[in-house]
Amino acid sequence: MMVYAFIAAEEPAGRNVARTCALLTVSRSAYYQWSKQTPSAHSQQEEVLREQIRRIHGESRGTYGAPRIHAQLRQDGIRTGRASGWRG
């Protein structure tokens, strides 16, 4: 749930978790349960793919768009669908 990620991002800035949960009408216990779980295998694979996409984009000095990045991934032996709305 994206609201939990928002709460987690606000916590290091000194925001009060209890107050934030109340304002967003989510339970504090559910937030803490979410924050302690480990990412799924699929989420971990997506993060590895994101890092590879960032690397390719950076190596191209920001000139490669989705078609070239997708082609480079395939050339590197990584088979994936091309997400048209990818924003990094």
| Each residue's pLDDT tens digit, 2-37 | 899 999 998 888 889 999 999 999 999 999 999 998
pLDDT at 52 over 60: yes
Whole-model pTM over 0.85: no
Residue 43 has pLDDT above 80, yes or no: yes
Average pLDDT over residues 41-65: 92
| Tokens of residue 68, six digits | 């070239």
Q: Above 90 in pLDDT, residue 39? A: no
How far apart, in whole angstroms, are the C-alpha atoms of residue 85 and residue 44?
A: 20
Residue 81 pLDDT: 80
